[in-house]
Amino acid sequence: MALKHVMINDIISEHMERMQNLKRYYPFFVLYDTVFSQYKEGKYEYLDMGYITVATLRFLINENNFHERDITYEEYEAFLLELLHRDFSLSEEKNEEKELALHIFDKLINDGKAFEFKFYDPDSKTRKTARVRLIESTVKDGKVFYHVTADGIEFYLDTKEIKDESKINIQQLLLEKMIKSDNFKGGIEVVKRINSEVSRLKKEKEDIIKLMGIDVFEGVKAYEEYMSRTAKWFSEEQKLFEKNKALVDKAVEKASYKVTKSNAMNDIGALETELKKAILGHSELIKETAALSQISEKIIQGAKYKSLRNVFDFNEALKKIYAADRPEWLEYIIKPFFTPKLVKSFSIKSIDNLLTLKTEDRMAGEKIVKEASVPDFKYDDELMDERTGKNFAIIFKELLERITRWDKVSLKEFNAILEIKFGEEIFENRDFYAFLVHLAGKKRYDMRKIMEKQDTMLEEMIVKYMPDSDKENFKDVVFEVIFNNEEIIKTGKMEDDYITDMEFERRYTNG
Amino acid sequence: MDNRNLDKALEIYSCLITGQEVSRSNRETRELYEEFYSNAEVYEITTKLLKKLNLNMYEYNDSVYITAGEGNRVFGYTNDDMKRMLGLRLNKELYMVYFIIYMILLNFYQDSASFQVKEFIKPDEALNSVTEYLSALTADISIYSMDELVEESFKTIALLWDELPVVTSSDKEKNKASKASRTGYVKLTFNFLVSQKLFIENEERYYPTDRFKALAENYFEEYKGKIYSVLGGDKDA
């Protein structure tokens, strides 16, 4: 049951791939079927399109791959007519022959279209079309050139050459035949072809590394394909090189004791040099291919970590910079690479800035904020003066009131009054004691005189802070301070809160 | 704090600030490298010092490197500094050099995590990369008039490149750094990169240093968000 399942799976999933491989044979059979019965009333029915197709491919491979040049239609026409004359004994008017050649060529290139090979894909359950060409054209300097496609080469090689054989090996076998038949000139050509194949493989290896850098999956696929195609032949190729080198050495030896034509001698020498070059190039290729496997391992390893890393994409960054058209932004990527700047320099213009220790950009951005001055702003000491002054004025007013009522009042009584009015806390107020000290500094107080001229600081403060209504009420009051040094009165709660008693007695100016 | 440790830390700092590598493989700095990683206090003082100076430190291949990053007022270069060092006068000339450096960078790194498989770069390769990228911009050059071009645009750079000969008339000058030819510009750029210890030259082949790799692989990942916000992209790359 399981085996059946595998088989069915193979039939379905591999069908597409098999059809892809088959497609390159398709144009040959289409062309093979082309009969000349419709053309010029069947006049050229004897021509074999299958033969012409294969011959054309060989001609193009020879020119494109061996001589590395594309060909023009005129060159192809010459080749084709030569073939028709030689192999089919064609003999017609020149113009008619040219017309026939063009007709054949149009068939080969399928009138410029690809051959379409239709098949059913059981995997996707759809009909697919594979497109294939044997010959392709390019335009260079206004001229059309033709070359064989990769499918064309593969098809041609499949018809005889062993498909998987190394190209270098095929050439080596050819070289061996040539050396054995003393065709040294032909041998040089063959070695040159080997050299070009070696450099092509080197280039392919470079491309794989590049591809790995961009797309690791595609790169690994290409790498595996490359290794299976090339690496397995290396030891055999090396053996053949050794064999051919020995043959050339033998030829040189033979030529040295046998009188050989000088031309042949030169050819052997040139062949030897070319072969040495080829061997050197080939061993380099082997070395580089070995390194390739290490590189690919590292790339795969790197790609595994990459998926976990917060990667910065330089390509993407350049696209952004370009899209914004801001080349100056390149510095965001470039400058971090530089070593720290150690040599400090400044322009002469910056000397001015040095004085104020401002950097250029700060100079531009600096703003001077103008703050409006507050006209009635008061400093702390001014605030204290004001508070003291007000307190003095209040206490003095109380005193004047008592004196006005009673004519005479002792400090003890006055204290009692103040205590009732302002509470005990007044004895903890330093302004109260300061007031008494200042008050004791003068013996007689005349309100009218005080208003006119202030002798002491206390008087100044009273004038300044006593409300005008109070000044008016007490303008006629005159009193004296009488010190009674005998009695000490207690104020406040603390032990040391003692003051000497005083008396304040009203005086009447007229009496 | 042990005075000896402070001394060592300052010694490491002075090596790093002068662009030298502190490395296990370098005979002169091996001892400092070992000290840096084995003595916690030395490590702490050095890293703190670097942090305060706004310098970034990266390790690569048993070596330590620092960079001032972008926008460092004390240790970074201004455009005028750059022009003076490169002998350039105009902004577009400076951006041309930046662009060449970018193309050289892309030859080694498509992104910060791509494994560095290329061993070296030849000046010709750098020149071709620049030409290839810029030729797309100059393809429709006939429709621009010079007056329309501002100095800070890619078209200006593309035009500057387009108007330069590949080499100046005499072959002798092929390897000379100058503003007179494309080869001259590339040589000028490579000379600068060598002076910055980012590449080593050998037979006209330029090999990237570990310093170059350390920065390409680490700095940009750390500052990715900041750089993208400056470049005006909200999306991550």
If pLDDT is split at 50, 70 and 90, which confidence band does B237 have? very low
pLDDT at B193 over 50: yes
What pLDDT shows up at residue A495?
62
Cβ of B233 and A320 within 8 Å?
yes
B169: nearest Cα among B150, B183, B190: B183
Greatest CA span in chain A, whole angstroms? 173
Structural tokens at position A339: 């070593």
- Helices of type H across A325-454: 331-334, 350-356, 360-365, 380-406, 411-422, 430-439, 447-452
Closest CA to A170 of A79, A65, A246: A65
Residue in chain B closest to A343 (alpha carbons) equals B75
Q: Is there a domain that residue A476 lies in?
A: yes
Q: How many domains does chain A have?
A: 3
**Domain end among A243, A277, A305:** A305
**Residue at B139: amino acid letter:** A
End of a domain among A131, A160, A189? A160
Which of A126, A160, A194 terminates a domain? The answer is A160
Task: For residues A142 and A20, state if they share a domain.
Answer: yes
- C-beta atoms of B111 and A318 within 8 A: no
Q: How far apart are CA A151 and CA A18, in angstroms?
A: 15
Domain co-membership, A136 together with A215: no
3-state secondary structure of A165: coil
Q: Can you tell me the distance from the alpha carbon of A219 to that of A210, in angstroms, rounded to the nearest whole number? A: 8
| Contact: B152, A332; criterion CB under 8 Å | no
pLDDT tens digits, one per residue of A470-497 = 888 888 889 888 876 666 776 666 666 6
Indicate if A268 and A129 belong to the same structural domain. no
The full DSSP string for B121-156 is: B-HHHHHHHHHHHHHHHHTTGGG--GGG--SSSHHH
Q: Name the 3-class secondary structure at A435.
A: helix
User: How far off is chain A from B22, nearest CA to CA, in Å?
Assistant: 14
Give the pLDDT means over successive 10-residue stretches in chain A (511 positions): 76 84 88 80 87 91 75 92 92 90 90 85 85 84 82 76 59 70 75 80 82 78 82 77 81 67 74 84 84 81 72 86 88 88 68 60 56 69 85 89 86 85 81 85 85 85 86 86 73 66 80 45
* pLDDT, tens only, B8-67: 899 999 888 887 788 888 888 888 999 888 888 999 999 998 888 888 888 888 899 888
Same domain, A401 and A502: yes
Give the contacts of A45 (CB within 8 A, at least 6 positions apart): A35, A36, A37
Task: Judge: B231–A320 Cβ closer than 8 Å, yes or no.
Answer: yes
Q: Which residues in chain B belong to E strands, given as ranges?
A: 22-23, 56-60, 63-67, 199-202, 205-208
Burial call A145-182: b when 16+ CB within 10 Å, e when fewer: bbbbbebbbebbbeeeeeeeebbbbbbbebbbebbeeb
Residue A23 within any structural domain of the chain: yes
Distance CA A384, CA A406 (A): 33
Contact criterion met (CB below 8 Å) for B181 and B167? yes
Question: What's phi and psi for A110, nearest 5 deg?
Answer: 55, 45
The conformation of residue A66, written as its DSSP 8-state character, comes to: I
How far is A411 from A393, CA to CA, in rounded Å?
17
Residue A372 lies in a domain: no
Q: Residue A52 has what pLDDT?
A: 93
Q: How many CB pairs under 8 A join A and B?
A: 158
Query: In which domain, by residue range, is A493 found?
Result: 380-506
Give the chain B residue whose CA is nearest to the CA of A291: B117
In one-letter notation, the amino acid at residue B223 is: Y
Computed on alpha carbons and rounded to an integer, the radius of gyration of chain B in Å comes to 20
Interface of B with A in 80-109 (CB under 8 A): 80-81, 91-92, 95, 98-99, 101-102, 105-106, 109
From chain A, pick out residues whose CB is under 8 angstroms from the CB of B231. Answer: 317, 320-321, 324, 329, 332
Using CA atoms, how far apart are residues B154 and B137, in angstroms rounded to an integer? 8
CA dist list (Å): B168 to B135, B172, B177, B184 = 20, 9, 11, 8
A279: CB partners within 8 A, 6+ apart: A241, A245
Query: Does A223 lie in the same domain as A155?
Result: no
User: Which residue in the set B74, B155, B212 is minimally distant from A337, CB to CB?
Assistant: B212
Looking at residue B189, its pLDDT comes to 95
Please enumerate in sequence order all residues whose Cβ is within 8 A of that of B27, keeping only pairs 6 or more positions apart, or say none: none
Distance from CA of B222 to the nearest CA of A (A): 8
Domain shared by A149 and A246, yes or no: no
Name the minimum distance, in Å, from the CA of A146 to any CA of chain B.
27
A198 and A155 in a common domain = no
Domains of chain B by start residue, with CATH = 3-68 (1.10.10), 79-230 (no CATH)
Q: Does B31 touch chain A (CB under 8 A)?
A: no
ipTM of the complex: 0.89
Residue appearing with tokens 């951005």: A365
3-class DSSP assignment, residue A397 = helix
Distance from CA of A292 to the nearest CA of B (A): 10
Q: What is the pTM of this model?
A: 0.47
Nearest CA in chain A to B55: A340
Question: How far is it, in rounded angstroms, from Cα B96 to Cα B164?
Answer: 12
Neighbour tally for A199: CB within 10 Å: 12
How many other CB atoms sit within 10 Å of the CB of residue A401? 16
Look at residue A348 and tell me if it is in a domain.
no
- Average predicted confidence (pLDDT) for chain B: 83
Burial class (CB in 10 A: 0-12, 13-18, 19+), B205: middle
Inter-chain touch B68–A336, beta carbons under 8 Å: yes
Chain A residues near residue B67 by CB distance under 8 angstroms:
336-340
Co-location of A156 and A171 in the same domain: no
- Which of A274-283, A354-363, B128-137, B184-193 is most confident? B184-193
A97 Rama sector, left if φ>0, alpha if ψ -120 to 50, beta otherwise: alpha
Least CB–CB distance from B237: residue in A317, A329, A337: A317
* Contacts (Cβ under 8 Å, ≥6 apart) of B92: A327, B151, B152, B156, B157, B160
DSSP A440-484: TT-SEEEHHHHHH---SHHHHHHHHHS-HHHHHHTTT-EEEEEEE
Q: Is residue A411 part of a domain?
A: yes
Segment of A208-222, A299-313, B103-117, B197-211 carrying the highest mean pLDDT = B197-211
Which of A309, A327, A334 shows the shortest C-beta gap to B221? A309
The verdict on A190 and A127 lying in the same domain is no
Is A445 inside any structural domain? yes
Shared domain for A204 and A133, answered yes or no, is no
Q: Which of residues 9-28 of B touch A (CB under 8 A)?
A: 17-19
User: Is A324 in contact with B152 (Cβ distance < 8 A)?
Assistant: no
Q: Which of residues 163-192 of B touch A (CB under 8 A)?
A: none
Q: Clarify whether residues A172 and A156 are in a common domain.
A: no
Among B75, B98, B137, B195, most A C-beta atoms within 10 A, so best to mutate, is B98
B169 to chain A, minimum CA–CA distance in Å? 27
Per CB-CB distance under 8 Å, the chain A contacts of B198 are: 337
Residue A232 and residue A184 share a domain: yes
Domain assignment of residue A339, yes or no: no
Q: How far is B33 from chain A (nearest CA, A)?
A: 19
CB contact under 8 A, B220 and A312: yes
Contact list, A294 vs chain B (CB under 8 Å): none
- Separation in Å, CA A480 to CA A70, A73, A99, A503, B213: 137, 143, 152, 8, 100
B112 touching A, CB under 8 A?
A: yes
Domain presence at residue A198: yes
